[in-house]
Amino acid sequence: MIGKQRQRWWAAALVVIACAGAADAALVAQWNFDDGTYNDQAGSLNGTASGVTSIVTAGANQLGHDMGKALQTGSAFGADYVAVGDLTSLGVSGSFTLTMWIKHEALSASGTVSPEFWDSWVGSGGNQGGVVGTIRRGNDGGNAGLIYATVEDTVDSSADLLKPYPRVDDGVWHFVAVRYISSGTSAKIYLDGVESSDIETGSYILSALGGKNTRIGDGFDGQIDDVRIYNSALTVALDGNKTLTGGELYDVWQAQVPEPASLILLGSTVTLVLLHRR
């Protein structure tokens, strides 16, 4: 009987280890704001608040999962954001995945600035390099309220990724992911688990040059939560409607991958139980 109990507990320990998976192994930065700070929970890129920013209670997302706390920023572009520094320290030179949850109220039809949920572009004008993600501005015709991202290299070759539906300025949480595969040189965007038909090819980068002051929520005027950077293109499995049905990105969307701190705690608990059973 004791032998069987030990086998069961060792099996539980293996489940904990398996939960870490390739996705957790590839996680190089994460800002979830649940500790009331702008700190990087997976690395050392701790954020610094600028202008109108705060950490607020997030409520539940579309999946019914409690989001804990989230970042709230004001509407002033170039002033209201959290700066997380230079992404080159992450060592991401090829494939990557950027994920987060965003919530924004209806955009004004007179709005002339696109709310940015992410900005790691370098420089200005052409040859910037990096990633920028926005909700299209309120006076942007048929594209108003749609998710849009640009991924660029340093020779002005860019992937412009637009998710043509639905609008996301509806006051509810939406899951957004930008996924780049270096081996196939293709960039794709996902919204609430659905892959856009936009697929751009080229050699793109998360951040090109040193010194870029990467920003989360520049003038976003909404909430952002659980921002993650992975140093790989997370695996995906899609159905005929291009909706995620499995893979690492599906697990992140469904919140089935434990937070790093939770994983450590769970692993410690199993270890203690194993020791006790001896």
Per-residue model confidence as pLDDT tens digits over 5-64: 444 433 443 433 344 456 788 999 999 999 999 999 999 999 999 999 999 999 999 999
Whether residue 88 lies inside any domain: the answer is yes
pLDDT band at 256 (very low <50, low <70, confident <90, very high): very low
Higher-scoring residue by pLDDT: 253, 1? 253
250 has pLDDT over 90: yes
- Domain extent, residue 205, equals 21-257
Whole-angstrom Cα distance, residue 70 to residue 201?
A: 33
Whether residue 5 lies inside any domain: the answer is no
Number of structural domains, the chain?
1
What CATH code is carried by the domain that includes residue 29? 2.60.120.200
Peptide bond into 164 cis (omega under 30): no
Contact yes or no for 219/268 (Cβ under 8 A): no
Whether residue 59 lies inside any domain: the answer is yes
Q: How far apart are the first and last CA of the chain?
A: 12
pLDDT band at 162 (very low <50, low <70, confident <90, very high): confident
238 has pLDDT over 60: yes
Kindly state the tokens that stand for 40: 């990087």
When pLDDT is averaged across residues 50-79 and rounded to a whole number, the result is 96
When pLDDT is averaged across residues 150-173 and rounded to a whole number, the result is 84
263 has pLDDT over 50: no
pLDDT score of 151? 84
207 has pLDDT over 90: no
Chain position carrying tokens 């939406």: 174
pLDDT score of 12? 40
- Confidence (pTM): 0.84
- Mean pLDDT, the chain, rounded, equals 82
pLDDT score of 245? 97
pLDDT score of 39? 98
Whether residue 207 lies inside any domain: the answer is yes
Whether residue 6 lies inside any domain: the answer is no
Whether residue 115 lies inside any domain: the answer is yes
Whether residue 262 lies inside any domain: the answer is no
